[in-house]
């Protein structure tokens, strides 16, 4: 069963500083530039439209005021989370075309809603040339959300961005894997102190892109699924200079293709976002063409005929003792036609260990404790090393009363309501 890709444009530039005093960042043009190279047709993707951002206008923002465009970014993030949620509700695979890295806030909000709905945690694979981990605890000022997005989605920073809908953090530190930062990244020690797993470019190249993707799977084995963020500045400026902050020491297009293919080749990858490409630095469109070639090849496993639809599971589902003779419905998402079984009738990708559907007339029995086998890179699954009797499984769905649109906005009380930002010196610009 194929997974259909849905392409959503998120052409925001609100998270970046102005390139000059009289210009605005050009990354908002990226979705159109990529579409011009037949991206949708080559992906056989559904056009999920465009979410138009508010106007870029720093106005009277001054250092010390917190993140510029914070109110606009917050509102845009809620709307983007709604759109991503609607795509996932349809059983599709979202490809979000940014825009700057502040689109991660909308994706993160959608993932947190989803994790709450299915009773599990959603992880993040953060593929970026920079850690984007600046926050009031480690910097003299904040200003540009695109340089602070990883800090914000892990709960660091002002509440109007880091705790939208009272959700903080959107991703836990232990559920984040950072790939592709430079060896001397400014905040690498802060990531280490926070317990965020990283693999800078030298280590990524030493292990190889394919093994690195497998390693990222393993790091997020306790999550019910994960989202992939890709900033094209992970590429070396020798091959991709069309970004706002090119930094030597990046990877090549071929490595990104292999890495992307490895990350999405699992039903537990829920979607991908692409950010920071700036067509203003690509007058002949050659870099846009290279990006499209890489994305099309990298996403090939998603729409392959043998691709498995996403199956979200709670990280540690409790034992159950109920009767059911029908196919299990896990976390509100249906299993494949064979009930998720592998070729020999065993657990398929994403199947909970030790769970098998009952045959007609078989009595319900207690679910045995799952036996954990060697890591396979799949999330919420492991091979069974000892025979396990069949058990009855109660269909698991979203909370009572939640129907279609379960990822759309659910108002929550603000958990703290306070900004974590202290006074910032007024000696710096927006970013």
Residue 338 located in a structural domain: no
Residue 133 located in a structural domain: yes
Rounded CA separation 87/8 (Å): 9
Domain membership of residue 233 as a residue range? 5-303
pLDDT of residue 310: 66
From first to last of its 431 residues, the chain has per-residue pLDDT tens of: 578 999 999 999 999 999 888 899 999 999 999 999 999 999 999 999 999 999 999 988 988 899 999 999 999 999 999 999 999 999 999 999 999 999 999 999 999 999 999 999 999 999 999 999 999 999 998 999 999 999 999 999 999 999 999 999 999 999 999 999 999 999 999 999 999 999 999 999 999 999 999 999 999 999 999 999 999 999 999 999 999 999 999 999 999 999 999 999 999 999 999 999 999 999 999 999 999 999 999 999 998 877 666 656 555 544 443 333 333 333 333 333 333 433 333 333 333 333 333 344 444 333 333 333 333 333 433 343 434 344 333 333 333 333 334 444 444 444 443 334 443 333 333 44
Q: Which residues pair with 54 in a beta bridge?
A: none
pLDDT of residue 313: 54
The DSSP-derived string for 53-115 is PPP---TT--TTS-STTHHHHHHHHHHHHHHHHHHHHTT-EEEEEESSTTHHHHHHHHHHHHH
Residue 310 located in a structural domain: no
Crossing angle between the packed helical segments 103-118 and 70-89, to the nearest 10 degrees = 50
CA 279 from chain centre, in angstroms, equals: 24
Domain count, the chain: 1
Q: Count helices and strands (H / E) in the chain.
A: 11, 10
DSSP state letter for 218:
H
Q: Which residues pair with 329 in a beta bridge?
A: 334
Phi, psi (deg, nearest 5) at residue 231:
-100, 125
pLDDT of residue 307: 67
Residue 54 located in a structural domain: yes
DSSP state letter for 251:
B
Residue 260 located in a structural domain: yes
DSSP state letter for 359:
P
Q: For residue 230, what are its two tokens?
A: 């890709």
Residue 110 located in a structural domain: yes
Q: For residue 26, what are its two tokens?
A: 């050009």
Rounded CA separation 406/331 (Å): 11
Cβ burial, residue 110 (10 Å; 0-12/13-18/19+): buried
Asked if residue 269 lies in contact with residue 223, where contact means CB atoms within 8 angstroms, the answer is no
Q: For residue 225, what are its two tokens?
A: 């699924």
Rounded CA separation 242/245 (Å): 9
Q: What is the CATH number of the domain that holds 243?
A: 3.40.800.10
Residue 343 located in a structural domain: no
Residue 416 located in a structural domain: no
Prediction pTM value: 0.75
């Amino acid at each position: 069963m194929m997974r259909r890709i849905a392409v959503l444009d998120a052409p925001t530039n609100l998270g970046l500083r102005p390139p000059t005093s009289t210009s605005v960042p050009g990354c908002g043009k990226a979705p159109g530039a990529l579409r011009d190279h037949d991206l949708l047709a080559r992906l056989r993707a559904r056009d999920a439209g465009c979410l138009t951002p508010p106007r870029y206008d720093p106005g009277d923002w001054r250092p010390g005021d917190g993140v510029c465009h914070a109110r606009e970014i917050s509102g845009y993030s809620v709307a983007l989370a709604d759109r991503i949620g609607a795509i996932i509700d349809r059983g599709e695979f979202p490809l979000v075309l940014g825009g700057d890295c502040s689109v991660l806030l909308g994706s993160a909000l959608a993932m947190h809603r989803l994790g709450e709905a299915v009773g599990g945690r959603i992880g993040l694979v953060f593929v970026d040339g920079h850690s984007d981990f600046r926050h009031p605890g480690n910097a003299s000022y904040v200003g540009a959300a695109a340089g602070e997005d990883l800090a914000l989605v892990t709960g660091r920073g002002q509440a109007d961005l880091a705790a939208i809908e009272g959700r903080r953090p959107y991703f836990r530190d232990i559920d984040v894997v950072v790939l592709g930062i430079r060896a001397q990244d400014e905040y690498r020690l802060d990531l280490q102190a926070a317990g965020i797993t990283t693999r800078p470019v030298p280590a990524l190249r030493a292990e190889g892109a394919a093994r690195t993707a497998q390693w990222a799977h393993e790091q997020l084995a306790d999550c019910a699924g994960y989202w992939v963020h890709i900033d094209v500045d992970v590429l070396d400026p020798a091959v991709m200079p069309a970004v706002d902050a090119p930094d030597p020491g990046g990877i090549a297009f071929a490595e990104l293709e292999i890495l992307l293919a490895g990350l999405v080749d699992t039903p537990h990858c829920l979607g991908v976002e692409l950010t920071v490409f700036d067509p203003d630095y690509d007058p002949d469109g050659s870099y846009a063409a290279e990006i499209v070639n890489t994305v099309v090849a990298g996403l090939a496993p998603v729409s392959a005929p043998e691709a498995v639809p996403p199956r979200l599971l709670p990280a540690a589902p409790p034992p159950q003792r109920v009767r059911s003779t029908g196919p299990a419905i896990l976390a509100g998402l249906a299993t494949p036609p064979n009930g998720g079984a592998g070729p020999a009738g065993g657990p398929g990708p994403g199947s909970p260990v030790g769970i098998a559907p009952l045959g007609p007339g078989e009595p319900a029995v207690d679910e045995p404790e799952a036996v954990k086998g060697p890591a396979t890179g799949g999330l919420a699954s492991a091979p069974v090393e000892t025979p396990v009797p069949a058990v009855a499984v109660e269909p698991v769905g979203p909370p009572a009363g939640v129907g279609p649109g379960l990822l759309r906005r659910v108002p929550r009380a603000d958990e703290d309501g306070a900004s974590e930002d202290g006074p910032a010196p007024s000696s710096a610009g927006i970013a």
